[in-house]
Amino acid sequence: MSSGEKDESNTNMALRVRALESLLLEKGLIETPAIDELVDMFENRLGPWNGAKVVARAWSDPEYKQRLLADGTAALTEMGFDTIQGEEMVIVENSPDTHNVIVCTLCSCFPWAVLGLPPVWYKSAPYRAEAARDPRGVLREFGTEIPADTELRVWDSNAELRYMVLPERPAGTEGMDAEELAKLVTRDSMIGVSKVAPPSAA
């Protein structure tokens, strides 16, 4: 799954979405305000920024981090992020010894409340197959090298149970507050295909 293939897939998906939107509007099945509301929900009220705030709080609040790892669903609700379809949320923590990656091998189950809509590549057959079969190879395609002695765990989401990665906190962030920390966190780091870059490299 090269970057060119990902770009082409993104373009094709965008064209299909626009065509479907135009058809639904033309037939009067949806209205522009309804589309605007959905877009606002997924871009501003649901999405990676929510997950980034969760990660930043966990990095700066050890007690919250314990609650998050013990009961992800309850800890997310505590911050006002309820799951969309009643699914249970499990948060898995990256460390120097362990790296976690999320996939849905059957379809594209994804933690919408904290990560928003799944990226096109997450839903693609190559990612779903290769993340389970050759996770180190997949990470390498994203530019993420994991040491050979680091345990690599792959978590398979489904309709009832979804995962989010708590990325490893980068060095050089000791004096940063939660808002500053959240700006470092990316969607891909919460899926596990990348790491959070230190401030100097972000």
- Exposure of 7 in the CB half-sphere (CA atoms within 13 A): 3
Contact 173, 184 (CB under 8 A): yes
46-191, what's its fold?
Answer: Nitrile Hydratase; Chain A (3.90.330)
189 is known as an active-site residue: no
The reply to whether 2 belongs to the active site is no
pLDDT at 201: 57
Q: Give residue 78's pLDDT.
A: 95
User: Would residue 194 show up in a list of annotated catalytic residues for this protein?
Assistant: no
- Per-run averaged pLDDT (10 residues), the chain, 202 residues: 52 70 71 66 70 98 98 95 83 98 93 89 94 96 95 95 97 94 97 94 53
Burial annotation 5-42 (CB, 10 A radius, 16+ → b, else e): ebeebeeeeeeeeeeeeeeeeeeeeeeeeeeeeeeeee
pLDDT attached to residue 86: 72
Q: Which of 3, 22, 95, 107 is catalytic?
A: 107
Cα separation, 201 vs 195, in Å, equals 12
Query: What pLDDT score does 39 carry?
Result: 63
Nearest to 119 by CA among 47, 64, 196, 62: 47
Residue 144 near residue 197 (C-beta atoms within 8 A): no
Which residue out of 9, 60, 108, 194 is catalytically annotated? 108
C-alpha 111 chain-centroid distance: 7
Amino acid 46: pLDDT: 63
pLDDT of residue 151: 97
pLDDT at 30: 67
Rounded to whole angstroms, the maximal C-alpha distance in the chain is: 57
Position 116 scores a pLDDT of 87
* Active-site residue identified among 104, 157, 189, 194: 104
pLDDT at 150: 97
Q: Is 107 part of the annotated catalytic residue set? A: yes
Tell me the angle at which helices 62-70 and 48-60 cross, rounded to the nearest 10 degrees. 120
